[in-house]
Chains A and B, each alone.
Chain A
Amino acid sequence: MKIAFSTSGETLEAPLDSRFGRAPKFILYDLERDYFEVIDNRQNLNTSQGAGIQSAETIARSGVGCIVTGHCGPKAFRVLSAAGIAVYNCGEATVADALKAFREGTLKTMDSADVEGHWI
């Protein structure tokens, strides 16, 4: 399974970005092959409205099974749920720490959006 992390960097040491909709990049980590790729989400950073929806579309099309991020707004959450992608909420500082926490099974899935829309 592939798993996505919202981030501002391009390595596993990069910080986990707490904003799902306006995260500059996503790291897609393949758990079976221990391999990752980076996708750019900066186009979205400049969106006035619907950044969460667009990020969620990007994630849904990338074929991941779940996303680990800080906070997720209501619109993005609806799209992710419709696409069958689980959302994990995480306060870890880096992508590597978040991945470790995911492997250890200590992350919790969100069952609803945890912030209002327009969260920057």
Chain B
Amino acid sequence: MILAVASGKGGTGKTTVSVNLARQLGSGVQLLDCDVEEPNTNLFLDCTEPEEEIFGIPVPCVDEALCDGCGECGRFCQFHAIVSFGTKPVIFPEMCHGCGGCMAVCPKRAISEVSQRMGLIETSRSGNITLIQGRLDIGVSMAPPLIRAVKARLQDGMPAILDAPPGTSCPVIATLRGTDMVVLVTEPTPFGLHDLKLAVDMVRELRIPFGVVVNRMGIGDDRVYAFCGKEGIPILLEIPYDRRIAEICSRGELIVDALPEYSSLFATLLWNIKELRGMERRASYVRSAN
């Protein structure tokens, strides 16, 4: 099963849930950090030296001998990544989305593609966990291609946990697409509830089964519970507010290691996720039978 951990609001504890769940699983699991702008899962795990792989996207390269400066490439490009005024085109690789349009429209077949570096993919190990992190170079703004490349490392048959970036924009969609289930982490505060609603709209649009983890239980009020109750959203786990948890996370330690009394929390979460998965499967079986 491929499970994504996401949240509308940042700082609700996505990474905390992902790493502790992965460790609690005990058997081999792939943990993918898809928050490629600020990957920091490795800070919570004692990892082996990462193997690095450079990731790039295809960007245009013009053969001056063939180009007659007709400017068709520049007129076509939606992203202003290539511009021409009767001379060899000027190319801005950082603007390019890698759609291949300029190459396809060029009447002289003067455009080919070369790879432009966007970041790194780092693979390392920590006990039962294989950690795969994408890391975007500073100043690069296009996360989805790198996220897709990180996800291409998923191995068939091995369970995987994907730590999504916060929010509901394209990088999040790129992460969630194709996963079997989503865990939305929230906190029982007005900000938490507001951002949870946005995230719920998103996963519903993507038609992925999901449940909610309420972190820092006890700090706010019960509006998150009322919302989940009304919408029929299962609450998979509540993590109590405990200052010791905040302190442990601030030091980059795992709850399941440092606070054994809380390791049952993540065992419960695992159990509830499996239950929800079973229910969804039965429901989809019934749907297809009808």
- Give me the interface of A with B, judged by CB distance under 8 Å: 49-50, 53-54, 56-57, 60-61, 75, 78-79, 82-83
Contacts A50-B92, A78-B92, A82-B90 supplied; 6 other A-B pairs, CB < 8 Å:
A50-B81, A53-B80, A53-B95, A57-B83, A75-B92, A79-B83
User: CB distance A49 to B85 under 8 Å?
Assistant: no
Residue A82 contacts which of B79, B81, B87, B95 (CB distance < 8 angstroms)? B87
Give chain A's interface secondary structure class.
helix
B interface residues, Cβ below 8 angstroms from A: 74, 79-81, 83, 85, 87, 90, 92, 95, 141
In the complex, which residues of chain A have a beta carbon less than 8 angstroms from the beta carbon of B80?
A: 49-50, 53-54, 57
Residues of B within 8 A of A50 (CB): 79-81, 92, 95
Q: How far is the CB of A119 from chain B (nearest CB, A)?
A: 15
Q: Which of B85, B95, B141 contacts A83 (CB 8 A)?
A: B85
Q: Specify the chain B residue showing the minimal Cβ separation from A51.
A: B80
Residues of B within 8 A of A60 (CB): 85
Tell me, rounded to whole Å, the shortest Cβ–Cβ distance linking A63 to chain B. 11
Q: A42 to B79, alpha carbons, bound, how many Å?
A: 18
Can you list 22 pairs linking A and B with CB atoms under 8 Å apart?
Answer: A49-B79, A49-B95, A50-B79, A50-B95, A53-B80, A53-B83, A53-B92, A54-B80, A56-B83, A57-B74, A57-B80, A57-B83, A60-B85, A61-B85, A75-B92, A75-B95, A78-B90, A78-B92, A82-B83, A82-B85, A82-B87, A82-B90
In Å, the complex CA distance between A61 and B71 comes to: 12
A79–B92 CA distance with the chains assembled, in angstroms: 10
Which residues of B have CB within 8 Å of A79?
A: 83, 90
Task: Chain B residues near A83: list those with CB within 8 A.
Answer: 85
Residue of A nearest to B86 (CB): A83
Closest chain-B Cβ to A51's Cβ sits at a distance in Å of 9
Complex: A75 Cα to B79 Cα, angstroms: 13
Q: Which residues of B contact A75 (CB under 8 A)?
A: 92, 95
From A56, A57, A78, name the one whose CB has the most chain B CB atoms within 10 angstroms: A57
Distance of B57 from chain A, by nearest CB (Å): 16
A54 to B92, CA, bound (A): 12
| CA A53 to CA B95, docked complex, whole Å | 10
Residues of A with C-beta under 8 A to B79: 49-50
Q: Provide the residues of chain A in CB contact with B74, threshold 8 Å.
A: 57
Expressed in whole angstroms, the Cα–Cα distance for A75 and B83 within the complex equals: 11
Q: Which of A49, A53, A75, A79 has the most CB of B within 10 A?
A: A53
> Which residues of B lie under 8 Å from residue A61 when comparing CB positions?
85
Contacts of B85 in A (CB 8 A): 60-61, 82-83
Q: How far is the CA of A80 from the CA of B80 in the complex (A)?
A: 14
A50 to B95 Cα, complex, angstroms: 8
In the assembled complex, the Cα of A82 lies from the Cα of B84 at a distance in Å of 8
CA distance A57 to B90 in the complex (A): 11
Task: Give the residue name and chain of the A residue nearest to B74 (CB).
Answer: A57
Distance, CA A78 to CA B84, complexed state (A): 11
Name which residue of chain B comes closest to A82, CB basis.
B90
Docked Cα-Cα span, A56 to B84, in Å, equals: 11
